[in-house]
Every structure is written in C-alpha cells, then in structure tokens.
Amino acid sequence: MQYNYDFEIASLLIMCIIGLHFVCIRQFPMDKTRLFGQFLIACIGECAANILSCVGLANAALVPQWVNEALAFAFFVLEGLSSYLLFRYFMEVCELRGRRAKQVWCLGGIPFLLFLAFALLTPFIGFFYYFIDNVYYQGFGADLGYAYIIYFFVLNILIIAKRRRVVSLRTKLIIALYTVVAVSMVWAQFHVRGVLLTSVGNATVLLMLYLAMQNPSEMLDPVTQIGNEQAFFLQLRNMQNHKAKKVIITVHLCKFRHIQMMLGLGNSNEILGEIGSFLYRLCGKFHVFRTYGDTFTVLVDSEERAEEIEQRILERFGQDWTLRENHVALETNLIEQRYPKDFQTSGEFAGMRQFLLESAEEAGSSAVLRVDDDTAAQYLRRSKVEMAVARAIKEQSFEVYYQPIYLVREKRIASLEALVRLRDEELGFIPPDEFIPLAERDGNIIHIGAQVLEECCSFLERHVLSNASMGIETIHVNISMAQCLRQNLPEMIRSVLEEHHIPPSMITLEITERTAISTPEQMRKHMKQLGELGVSFAMDDYGSGNSNCSYLIKFPFEEVKVDKDIVWASFEKDAARIILENEVRTMQEIGVPIIVEGIETKEQAKRMEELGVDFIQGYYYGRPMPEGEVLRYIRQFGAQTGE
Ligand code: C2E
Ligand code: CA
Ligand code: CA
C-alpha cells in the first residue's frame, strides 16, 4: 500500500521551526520547559520515522527489510513516548506533587510501559505490525495503538478538570482545542488509512503550547537584562520540586537608595547593569537574578563554590565601579541560605532573608551573613511572636494596663498611661518592646492601636466619667507611626470617643519625635484636626534620638516626656544631670509641662521634685496595672495623702 505523507511533511516543518525557536530563545530551565523540549523531540522523531518508513516501503526494492522494520519500530516507540510525555507535561502544569503525583503517574506510566512492552515484542509476535517480503502489514493489535492515544486524551482532560483551579484558562482552552483537532485526526486516520495524519495533532498542540508558554521577556529585569524576582521564585520552586541541594546568595547593596538619589536614576541603573553583568559572567545565565530594588540573588550548586563566589564578589566590591569617567564605591553584604538545610519553603526563605537583611545593616559592609543556630532561633521566635500578635488581634485578647502619672504640684495621681500587654498561651508574656516593632512592620499595629483606644475609652466611661473625685483627668495613649500615616486617624479617634461619650480633653496622645518628623505634614494636619477637637499631644521619649527643642516649635505638643535613659543617666553622670536641668528650665520657660519616666526610688522622686518637673511616672509611684488594680491603687493613694 502507498501512503500519502504530505501532511506529515508539513507537520515536520512546523515542528522543526518551533524547535529552532525553542533552542535559540532559551527559556528558563524549569520542569515544564524541560518536558516540553522532550515532547518536541519525541514528536519530531516520530514524524520523521513515519515519513522515512513510508519512503522505505515505497522503495522496497532498494531499501532492505531490516531498515524498514527498524523505522516502523522507532515510529511505534516514539508514538508511545510522545503521548506519555505530553501527559507528563500536563501533570507538571497541574502542579501535582508528592503522593498524589505518584498515583496520577501510575495512570499514565503503566499504560506507557505496557505499550512499550508490546512495541518491543512486535518484531517477534507481530503485535502492531509484521513484514512479509519487505511489505508492511498491520498486526492483530494495531487498533490498540489508537486506543492508547485516545486513552491519553481522556486522561489529560480528566487531570486538568480535576486540577482546574491551578490551571490557567489559556491551558484549558489549548487542551480543549487540541482534543478536538487530535480526535478528528485519529478518527480520520482510522477511516482514511492511506493518508498519514498522525503528526498533525502533535504539531497543533506543540504550536499552541509554545505560543502560550512563558514569555522570557516577562522573566527579565529591564534594567539589567537578567532574570527578575518572578524568574527567581520559579527557579526556587523548581529546585524544591527536585529537592536539589543549592546555596542561595543574596547580594545586598548597602545604602543604594542614597546612591540613587545622588547619581540620578539613569546613572544608578547603569551601575546596576554593570553589577548584573559581572554576576552573570561569574555565575552563568539562569543563575543570577535581580530580585528587588537593591538586591541580586545568585543560585550556586555547592557550598564550596558558594564560598569561592562570595570571595570574588567581595573582591570586586572592594574596587570602584566605573560610570563613564566617574568612579563609584559601593558597599555590599552577602546573605547565604542553604537549601534544604536552612529553609524548606519559599515563604521561609523570603522571611529569613528579610530578617537577615535587617541585621545586615548592623553587621556593616562586606559581611557574609549565614543562618546559624542563633539566627534560626531568633527568626523562629520572631515568626512565633508575629503569629501570636495575629492571634491576639483576631481574638481581641490584648490587655491594657495603666501606669499612674503623679502630678507633683498637687501630690496626686492625675493621669494614667495605657500600656498594652500580650499574654500568649504558648509564649507566655511577650514584652511590648518586642512585639510592637514587629506589629509596626507588618501593619498590625493599626489593629492593636484601635483595640487599645477602644479599651481605654470603655475604661474611662465605666470608671472615671462618673467618678470625678478620683481625680483622673487624662489617659495617655501611645500612637505609632503606622497609625499616624493613616489619613483617617482623626476620624477614627473621634468616632471611638463619641461612642463612649468621652470628652476629647481626657485623651493625650503620646507620639515619639521619630514619628513626628518622619511624616511632618501629615502629623501637623492630624494634630491640627485633633487639637481643634480637644485632644492633646505629648512628645514621648524626648532626648532618646536627635531631639531638640525645634520640634516643640514645629509641632503643637502640650507636654514633653523625658526618656528613661536620660533620667537614669542624670543620676549617674554630672553632664547628663546638667543637660536634664537645662531641659527642664527650657520647658518651664516655654511653658510646656514636663513628665519624667523611669523613677524607681524615693530618692530619685525627691530629686525630680527639686528639679521642678511637673509630672513623675515610674515604678516608685506604681507599675503598669490591670484596671481593677489601678482603681484600687488610686483610691488608696488618695486616702493616704488625705484627699
Ligand atoms: P513607652 O511609651 O516609653 O512606655 C514606658 C515604658 O516604660 C513602659 O514599658 C513602662 O512599663 C516602662 N516603665 C515605666 N516606669 C518604669 C520604671 O520606673 N522603670 C522601668 N524599668 N521601666 C518603667 P512597656 O509597657 O514595656 O512598654 C514599652 C514600650 O512599648 C512603650 O514605651 C511604647 O513605646 C510601647 N507601647 C506600649 N504600649 C503601647 C501601645 O498601646 N501602643 C503603642 N503604639 N506602643 C505601645
Ligand atoms: Ca509612652
Ligand atoms: Ca517613653
């Protein structure tokens, strides 16, 4: 029988063009891409074997029988293989992992192995085909070949349907279209056996998959032309799928923001480009990524190689980078994370990297930070604390303690500072100094702040409003930077006050100078609006940063709280004492009342009174206490002092 193989030649041409493009424009080496490449090769091989086999059979007089037999054999093996590889490709698209992947594999792997066994036996038992006098005849099991192909169509559709949530719409459309084309081809082939159509379906699916495949330019950083963050995380996932041991080096450019400001965007991009090409030359394509802003990430195969690369990077950063005629010195520190020793998931990797990046600032330049037991324990603790905060927000389980503030002139407790407390079932008591900065970082402080204010207002409503003789005039509430960044802060505070019928004058918001100066415009706006309402402001931790009196001119603070450290130092050192004395005098002259914190002994309290401070807060007058205790304390204090 003479076969018409025109369609096969056209299909071969299309597949070869795809192959050429695939090789020239290299994709990121991931499992999906690798399987696509294998499927493509198997399809090209299958199609070529089919065409050659037809040519051989048409020229039986010239071509020896063993050549025709070998071509027929190759065709069947490759046909079985291509269906199996396409199934493996879809398994990867469906992101099947672990036990489930093994179960699904059996559904495709076992039929493939059976098909292969029949193909291997065919030369002996004539299952798919047999030859007599160099003429090809279909074997008794030839139709099973069609059944095999149909089985894989159905299987692919079923696994994609089952995993429809993780599969993109594009892929679903491709498989639908492909199935229509391929099934029609198989049907046509079954009925018109003289025209070969086997590869038309394959060429169609290859073309569609290739067009829909990852676009390498989406994975490239436009500034440095190396892989971007997305490409890096895809590689990371790939690495985890293979459980391949790797070392990931993060190259962090210290203070790059300043350099960007000094040199301008264009010039600093040029430097980034230079760094990118240096790392690219050092580590090779697909191993270097510009992960975000001022970090590059390098993937290395072994710890020894990592050490060598780290050395080379530090050496290079020891020299200047040239920007046209200018020389620019850049500082870097490196972070080394080993897989799977130091992290298991992408989330753990990113969290730990962020944690190490923060300590990198302190470690100074040219440091190589590694994940040792200490950092791992610190990181674990931090993650646990963050989770405890999230839990407490959900369960509204923060407690508010109140610390008395003593009014020196009238010898009574006139205010309270609200201080938040977190007690976790697993971690026990977590000090605010530990969890507040973490909550500031992830924005959870907004919820904490809201719960604290709500609690304070409820406390005032229940115990203070109706009990003026208690003498509590205000509650001091700490407000964080993240809260101040919120446009609706005044509105939020006003509505809570109204809900509990609290006069705004009963609330003093404590803000650190750092908060005030980091968002000066916003802060002034908030202070104006809240001030008009009647809320007052105290500058907290005065003297702990680069404070100077100019903030008191710039912002309408009604009170100043001197930082504990300054107060403690004033008992130890003459210089600190003189500074504190001058500050108190300055405040008195300006007319801003002063509160000193951290007073623990009678002696210290006496010294502060002599100095002329207006308010004293500290363990001497009382530690932060839960509401019941603080109410009893105030009553007792009043009774003792005869009020
Ligand atoms: P802060 O605002 O400076 O609060 C005063 C801190 O000093 C409190 O620590 C208080 O317990 C402590 N303190 C008071 N008197 C003494 C003393 O005589 N000796 C000693 N050694 N310490 C004293 P606490 O409660 O651990 O709070 C630490 C920080 O956490 C606060 O410092 C504040 O910055 C923050 N914080 C606490 N509650 C809140 C809150 O509700 N919201 C916000 N944003 N921050 C809060
Ligand atoms: Ca405070
Ligand atoms: Ca303070």
Element (DSSP H or E) covering residue 594: strand 594-596
For a pocket test of ligand 1, which of 430, 597, 600, 602 has the largest count of ligand atoms closer than 8 A to its C-beta? 597
Q: What integer pLDDT is reported at residue 642 of this predicted model? A: 58
Using a 6 Å cutoff on CB, does residue 598 contact ligand 1? Answer: yes
Our measurement of the distance from residue 463's CA atom to the centroid of its chain's CA atoms, rounded to an integer in Å, reads 45
Q: How far is the CA of 132 from the centre of ligand 2 (A)?
A: 98
Contact, 198 vs 10, CB < 8 A?
no
- Give every CB contact of residue 606 below 8 A, 6+ residues apart in sequence: none
Q: What integer pLDDT is reported at residue 265 of this predicted model? A: 85
**CATH code at position 67:** 1.20.1070
Q: What share of the chain is helix, strand, coil (3-state, %, to 5)?
A: 60, 15, 25
Q: What integer pLDDT is reported at residue 139 of this predicted model? A: 93
Q: Residue 162: how many CA atoms within 13 Å on its side-chain side?
A: 14
Token reading at 446: 């907004």
Q: Indicate if the pLDDT at residue 643 is higher than 60.
A: no
What ligand is nearest to the CA atom of residue 480? 1
Contact, 557 vs 537, CB < 8 A?
yes
What ligand is nearest to the CA atom of residue 538? 2
> What single letter denotes the amino acid at residue 400?
V
Decide if 598 is inside a domain.
Answer: no
Using a 6 Å cutoff on CB, does residue 431 contact ligand 1? Answer: yes
Decide if 187 is inside a domain.
Answer: yes
Query: In terms of domains, do 226 and 204 share one?
Result: no
Q: What integer pLDDT is reported at residue 462 of this predicted model? A: 95
Question: Residue 603 — very low, low, confident or very high, per pLDDT cuts 50/70/90?
Answer: very high
What residue owns the CA closest to ligand 1's atom 46? 478
Q: Among 171, 193, 215, which residue terminates a domain?
A: 215
Query: In terms of domains, do 286 and 315 share one?
Result: yes
Question: Which value, in Å, is the radius of gyration of the alpha carbons in the chain?
Answer: 37
Our measurement of the distance from residue 484's CA atom to the centroid of its chain's CA atoms, rounded to an integer in Å, reads 25
* Long-range Cβ pairs for the range 482-489 (8 Å, 24+): 482/440, 482/443, 482/445, 482/446, 483/445, 483/446, 483/449, 484/511, 484/515, 484/519, 484/522, 484/523, 484/526, 485/519, 485/522, 486/446, 487/522, 489/526, 489/530
**Once rounded to an integer, what is the mean pLDDT over residues 564-587?**
92
Decide if 584 is inside a domain.
Answer: no
Rounded Cα–Cα distance for residues 20 and 500 (Å): 73
Q: What integer pLDDT is reported at residue 216 of this predicted model? A: 67
Question: Residue 361 — very low, low, confident or very high, per pLDDT cuts 50/70/90?
Answer: confident
pLDDT in tens, 188-204: 877 887 888 888 888 98
What residue owns the CA closest to ligand 1's atom 25? 419
Question: Residue 548 — very low, low, confident or very high, per pLDDT cuts 50/70/90?
Answer: low
In this prediction, what percent of the chain has a pLDDT beyond 90? 63
Q: Indicate if the pLDDT at residue 212 is higher than 80.
A: no
Decide if 612 is inside a domain.
Answer: no
Q: Among 215, 230, 257, which residue terminates a domain?
A: 215
Task: Select from 330, 385, 342, 336 the least CA-distant residue to 360.
Answer: 336
Contact, 300 vs 251, CB < 8 A?
no
Q: How far is the CA of 180 from the centre of ligand 1 (A)?
A: 70
Decide if 282 is inside a domain.
Answer: yes
C-beta neighbour count of 591 within 10 angstroms: 7
State which ligand 1 atom lies nearest to the alpha carbon of 431: 26
Contact, 167 vs 94, CB < 8 A?
yes
Token reading at 439: 């909550």
For a pocket test of ligand 1, which of 419, 435, 447 has the largest count of ligand atoms closer than 8 A to its C-beta? 419
Rounded Cα–Cα distance for residues 381 and 427 (Å): 9
Decide if 581 is inside a domain.
Answer: no
Contact, 229 vs 219, CB < 8 A?
no
Contact, 408 vs 616, CB < 8 A?
yes
What residue owns the CA closest to ligand 1's atom 27? 432
* 188 against 216, higher pLDDT: 188
Rounded Cα–Cα distance for residues 640 and 643 (Å): 8
Question: Residue 496 — very low, low, confident or very high, per pLDDT cuts 50/70/90?
Answer: very high
Using a 6 Å cutoff on CB, does residue 419 contact ligand 1? Answer: yes
Phi-psi region of 79 (alpha: psi -120 to 50; beta: other; left: phi over 0): alpha
What residue owns the CA closest to ligand 1's atom 22? 598
Q: What integer pLDDT is reported at residue 584 of this predicted model? A: 92
CA angle centred on 227, ends 225 and 232, rounded to 5°: 165
Find the Cα–Cα–Cα–Cα dihedral 492, 495, 497, 500, rounded to 10°. -130
Q: What integer pLDDT is reported at residue 196 of this predicted model? A: 84
Query: In terms of domains, do 400 and 415 share one?
Result: yes
**CATH code at position 450:** 3.20.20.450
Q: Domain count of the chain?
A: 3
For a pocket test of ligand 1, which of 422, 430, 436, 601 has the largest count of ligand atoms closer than 8 A to its C-beta? 436
Q: How far is the CA of 419 from the centre of ligand 1 (A)?
A: 6
Q: How far is CA 620 from CA 599, 606, 623, in A?
A: 6, 11, 8
Query: In terms of domains, do 227 and 175 share one?
Result: no
Q: How far is CA 439 from CA 398, 409, 482, 489, in A?
A: 13, 38, 9, 17
Using a 6 Å cutoff on CB, does residue 451 contact ligand 1? Answer: no
Task: Select from 549, 477, 488, 489 the least CA-distant residue to 513.
Answer: 549
Contact, 559 vs 594, CB < 8 A?
yes
Is the backbone peptide bond immediately before 216 cis, with ω within 30 degrees of 0?
no
In this prediction, what percent of the chain has a pLDDT beyond 70? 98
State which ligand 1 atom lies nearest to the alpha carbon of 477: 41
Query: In terms of domains, do 204 and 250 share one?
Result: no
Contact, 482 vs 440, CB < 8 A?
yes
Q: Among 215, 233, 250, which residue terminates a domain?
A: 215
Using a 6 Å cutoff on CB, does residue 399 contact ligand 1? Answer: no
What residue owns the CA closest to ligand 1's atom 10? 624
Q: What integer pLDDT is reported at residue 527 of this predicted model? A: 94
Token reading at 428: 């026990």
Query: In terms of domains, do 48 and 189 share one?
Result: yes
Query: In terms of domains, do 211 and 233 share one?
Result: no
Using a 6 Å cutoff on CB, does residue 600 contact ligand 1? Answer: yes
For a pocket test of ligand 1, which of 478, 483, 496, 625 has the largest count of ligand atoms closer than 8 A to its C-beta? 478
Helix (H, G, I), strand (E, B) or coil at 325: coil
Contact, 314 vs 298, CB < 8 A?
no
Q: What integer pLDDT is reported at residue 171 of this predicted model? A: 79
Strand segments, DSSP code E, in 270-358 are 288-292, 295-300, 321-323, 326-328, 332-339
* 189 against 287, higher pLDDT: 287
C-beta neighbour count of 230 within 10 angstroms: 16
Contact, 141 vs 80, CB < 8 A?
no
Query: In terms of domains, do 325 and 474 share one?
Result: no
pLDDT in tens, 328-340: 899 999 999 999 9
C-beta neighbour count of 625 within 10 angstroms: 18
Query: In terms of domains, do 241 and 184 share one?
Result: no
Contact, 228 vs 289, CB < 8 A?
yes
State which ligand 1 atom lies nearest to the alpha carbon of 419: 38
* 236 against 419, higher pLDDT: 419
Helix (H, G, I), strand (E, B) or coil at 260: helix
Q: How far is the CA of 211 from the centre of ligand 1 (A)?
A: 60
Rounded Cα–Cα distance for residues 461 and 457 (Å): 6
**Once rounded to an integer, what is the mean pLDDT over residues 6-27?**
90
State which ligand 1 atom lies nearest to the alpha carbon of 624: 11
Q: What integer pLDDT is reported at residue 225 of this predicted model? A: 86
State which ligand 1 atom lies nearest to the alpha carbon of 445: 44
Rounded Cα–Cα distance for residues 8 and 355 (Å): 58
- Give every CB contact of residue 37 below 8 A, 6+ residues apart in sequence: 22
State which ligand 1 atom lies nearest to the alpha carbon of 483: 44
For 275, the domain range is 220-371
Rounded Cα–Cα distance for residues 591 and 310 (Å): 58
Decide if 601 is inside a domain.
Answer: no
Decide if 44 is inside a domain.
Answer: yes
Region of poorest pLDDT, from 121-125, 235-239, 408-412, 526-530: 235-239
Residue positions counted in the chain: 643
Region of poorest pLDDT, from 146-155, 211-220, 221-230: 211-220
Q: How far is the CA of 480 from the centre of ligand 2 (A)?
A: 10
Using a 6 Å cutoff on CB, does residue 45 contact ligand 1? Answer: no
pLDDT in tens, 420-467: 999 999 999 999 999 999 999 889 999 999 999 999 999 999 999 988
Contact, 538 vs 558, CB < 8 A?
yes
Using a 6 Å cutoff on CB, does residue 452 contact ligand 1? Answer: yes
pLDDT in tens, 618-627: 999 999 999 9
Question: Residue 398 — very low, low, confident or very high, per pLDDT cuts 50/70/90?
Answer: very high
Region of poorest pLDDT, from 250-254, 291-295, 313-317, 548-552: 548-552
Q: Indicate if the pLDDT at residue 28 is higher than 80.
A: no
Q: How far is the CA of 83 from the centre of ligand 1 (A)?
A: 68
Instruction: Please state, rounded to an integer, the average pLDDT across all residues of the chain.
Output: 91
Provide the 8-state DSSP code for 224: T
Query: In terms of domains, do 107 and 193 share one?
Result: yes
Query: In terms of domains, do 326 and 399 share one?
Result: no
Using a 6 Å cutoff on CB, does residue 478 contact ligand 1? Answer: yes
Using a 6 Å cutoff on CB, does residue 434 contact ligand 1? Answer: no
Query: In terms of domains, do 423 and 321 share one?
Result: no
Q: Which of 31-40, 208-217, 592-601 has the highest mean pLDDT?
A: 592-601
Rounded Cα–Cα distance for residues 242 and 237 (Å): 9
**CATH code at position 336:** 3.30.70.270
Rounded Cα–Cα distance for residues 54 and 3 (Å): 6
